[in-house]
Copies of this chain bind each other. A is one copy, B any other.
């Protein structure tokens, strides 16, 4: 497993979670091995693309055998940084914050939301999926006392940069941003954006330009 290149393209990295998801489904279905052709049918990438992607991480495919589902899944998990626990907090305990909290609670146990934060008295103290909503005024103190890996932003547009600054000051390792803004001054801290409005506008574009879909 030593062939890993120094620099893996963003496009390949973006495809890895999808491989992982498919391999998990296969494993759950009891499938032990799979060819690049069969993976291609499931994932939609070409078999050649799949072989090329997976070659970046070493040659686990064997001629005439294909890939061992469990081994390939473990290797992709390792590359993606699984196998440790990620503590998360969510800033913004409105419907979207609750939805992300609920998603994480039902997702892999490697991810754990330890606290929700909000500015509104109406919601502070409430408990969602076992997680208590705290006053955002105490967020930096909380981060000092509780090692937190990922901060999730589900606040409104005008609160996003302020909340982001708290997360950075508190030393989170990564930010998952659902607010419709491009965060500033994040330095080397990775930010993953889910811009719902951008996504919706792209869909509408393709609805209006069916030939380009």
Contacts of A210 in B (CB 8 A): 188, 190
A70 at the interface (CB under 8 A from B): no
Number of copies: 2
Give residues 147-185 of A contacting B (CB, 8 Å).
149-150, 173-174, 176, 180, 182
Contacts of A209 in B (CB 8 A): 81
Known: A190-B210, A199-B192, A204-B174. A43 touches B102 (CB 8 A): no
Name the residue of chain B whose CB is nearest to the CB of A193.
B199
Name the residue of chain B whose CB is nearest to the CB of A43.
B182
Q: Is the interface of A mostly helix, strand, loop or mixed?
A: helix
Contact (Cβ within 8 A) A98 B100: no
Contacts of A21 in B (CB 8 A): 180, 195, 197-198
- In the bound complex, how far is the Cα of B79 from the Cα of A100, in angstroms? 32
- Which of A9-17, A32-40, A56-64, A138-146 forms part of the interface with chain B? A9-17
Known: A80-B205, A94-B102, A173-B207. A8 touches B212 (CB 8 A): yes
5 closest Cβ contacts across the A-B interface? A81-B208, A190-B206, A17-B198, A17-B201, A192-B203
